[in-house]
Amino acid sequence: MKIAFLGCGQVGGALADHLQRLGYDVTIAARDAKSDSVRKLLERNPASKVDEPHKAVSDAEVVFLATPFHAVEAALGPLADELSGKIIVDCTNPVGPGLKHGLDSADSGTRRIAALVPKSRIVKAFTIYGFENFEDNSFPGYDIKPAMLFCGDDADAKKVVSELIAALGWEPVDIGGLDQALHLEHMTLLWIRMVRVHGHSPRLVWAALQG
């Protein structure tokens, strides 16, 4: 499977590195191949590939969107044609001042992204945690996998993303359509407040127990 990454900072870089090491064909879409984030990723994984955005996205089956939310429009706008029909994994979160929802909870960031690329198939995943758990999601003291909640309107796209989630060592938990994306963004804010403000360990994750 060919995968492109728009954004390779702390979250995108960790996911791109792990997927490449699992054998996926991963390319970083970068306007500046000498940027700090690209350089750091190449230092940690010299096998990573970098290409200009139009080519990287055109060749990909799945595109991970892992930019800061304020950079989403600039990242997606020029690539609208290439993204038509593609699966986009939305890893972004609109975080506003005071760790409030960046869109005042009037809409999810994912819905805003869907409006920018209406012909794409969007699945929100790889949010709800900080980057530490994308670097390492192993918990050897527990006989259970950490949960990765995801949502989307396209069943086939969700199946593909669910398989990627499982390959990365998470328990995929499908919570429904894109109308659930706002709840995932609130879960991310909850995690951020618990960890960054109230001092819980950044290795805090959720689990899905079913009887």
| Residue 207 lies inside a defined structural domain of this protein | no
List the CATH number of the domain containing 160.
Answer: 3.40.50.720
| Residue 209 lies inside a defined structural domain of this protein | no
Q: Which domain holds residue 74?
A: 2-197
Closest CA to 110 of 78, 74, 65: 65
Confidence of residue 207 (pLDDT cuts 50, 70, 90): very high
Q: Where are the beta strands (DSSP E) in the chain?
A: 2-6, 25-29, 49-51, 62-65, 87-90, 95-96, 100-101, 121-124, 147-152, 171-174
Q: Are strands 95-96 and 100-101 parallel, antiparallel or unpaired?
A: antiparallel
| Residue 108 lies inside a defined structural domain of this protein | yes
Cα–Cα distance for residue pair 89/103, rounded to 1 Å: 20
Q: Residue 33: is its pLDDT beyond 90?
A: no
Closest CA to 14 of 115, 133, 134: 134
Confidence of residue 58 (pLDDT cuts 50, 70, 90): very high
| Residue 111 lies inside a defined structural domain of this protein | yes
Crossing angle for the helix pair 36-44 and 10-21, nearest 10 degrees? 30
pLDDT tens digit sequence for 143-172: 999 999 999 999 999 999 999 999 999 999
| Residue 208 lies inside a defined structural domain of this protein | no
pLDDT tens digit sequence for 72-107: 999 999 999 999 999 999 999 999 999 999 999 999
| Residue 68 lies inside a defined structural domain of this protein | yes
User: 200 with 194: CB under 8 angstroms?
Assistant: yes
| Residue 182 lies inside a defined structural domain of this protein | yes
What pTM was estimated for this model as a whole? 0.97
| Residue 206 lies inside a defined structural domain of this protein | no
What is the total count of domains within the chain? 1
